[in-house]
Amino acid sequence: MNNSDILFLYDAKLTNPNGDADDENRPRMDYERSINLVSDVRLKRYVRDYLENKGHEIFVAKVEDQTLNATNRLKSLFEKYEGNVNLNKITVEQRDWMLDQLIDVRLFGATMPIKSQEQGNKGSSMTLTGPVQFNWGYSLNKVSLVESSTITSHFSSEESNERGAMGKDYRVYYSFIAFHGVISASRAKHTRLKEEDIYLLDEAMIRAIPLLATRSKVGQQPRLYLRVEYNSDQFILGDLRDYIRLEEQEALRSVSEVRLIIDDLVEKLVKVNEQINTIHLWQDQYLTIVHDGKQGSLDSLLPEQLQVKCKPVKGAVHV
């Protein structure tokens, strides 16, 4: 397995990409710069829910619609294991079996209230650092908030309240959001991450957001997914968002007004071309990409030495 850098772009129109529970569920913002923020936890939740809906076992989940603490979640998992399991001292074989069941732990890691024989008397929990990590996402454009509308439920919040419950509905007009992520091949060995897991991650990144839309999340669409896979576990380029920009950054209202400039990204990829094994790529047909004054699909705008390394993402669907 090799290291990878990930660039993921999606947009949000008249929706709330990531509400802040400490601020009346307003969209998370850097108000000084009018930049919309989205936590990595929100993105990972999309991926987990998508994989769970596809039938994969995940650690951060409900069991039979019941919310469990971490210890009870592990007990419910090991009920499927043949033989007795002591969570205070699981064997190497039991640990490996557990990791083979939990795709989200293989991807993102976890802290678990268990001890393995390898730990001896060290600590009271097992911490696995996930090979897949994301920064917080942020908008490439300046974002304005829609003035909140008061929403009312037809059902009262308490028996003594004859009126319906009331709340605020905060949304953004339009946000074009960028995430950067990395896949560490060296950490993948510790969580038993497989190549097939990475292909499932690629698929989930593209398909999860529109398929798992709730009332506050309708209006979000993936626009670009780029995973630059290198030819070793010793190289990472870094945050690919540093090399892209929008031609216009203010008063945007839809993807039809977006023009993504990739001149610096192409230049950077050319410089590290010898380090690149494969460029895994998916692009929405409505996203306009511009390089050197020309517009087209990303793969068509890349120089030939990079084009030959482009490969469509497995399981992706163009819509």
pLDDT at 64 over 60: no
For 202-233, how does the pLDDT look when each residue is reduced to its tens digit (9 = 90+)? 999 999 999 877 777 788 999 999 999 999 99
Q: In the structure encoding, which two tokens stand for residue 224, read together?
A: 């670009």
Average pLDDT, the chain: 89
What value does the mean pLDDT take over residues 234-246?
96
For 71-105, how does the pLDDT look when each residue is reduced to its tens digit (9 = 90+)? 888 888 898 888 888 888 889 999 999 999 999 99
CA–CA separation, 269 and 280 (whole Å): 13
Q: Which domain holds residue 177?
A: 4-40+134-192+218-312
Residue 150 maps to a domain: yes
Compare 61 and 160 and report the one with higher pLDDT.
Answer: 61
Query: What is the value of pTM for the model shown?
Result: 0.89
Query: What pLDDT, on a 0 to 100 scale, did the predictor assign at position 83?
Result: 85
CA–CA separation, 201 and 139 (whole Å): 22
pLDDT category at 318 given cuts 50, 70, 90 is very low
CA–CA separation, 171 and 273 (whole Å): 41
Residue 13 maps to a domain: yes
Count of domains observed in the chain: 1
Residue 59 maps to a domain: no
pLDDT at 121 over 60: no
Residue 203 maps to a domain: no
Contact 224, 298 (CB under 8 A): yes
Query: What pLDDT, on a 0 to 100 scale, did the predictor assign at position 76?
Result: 87
What value does the mean pLDDT take over residues 174-192?
97
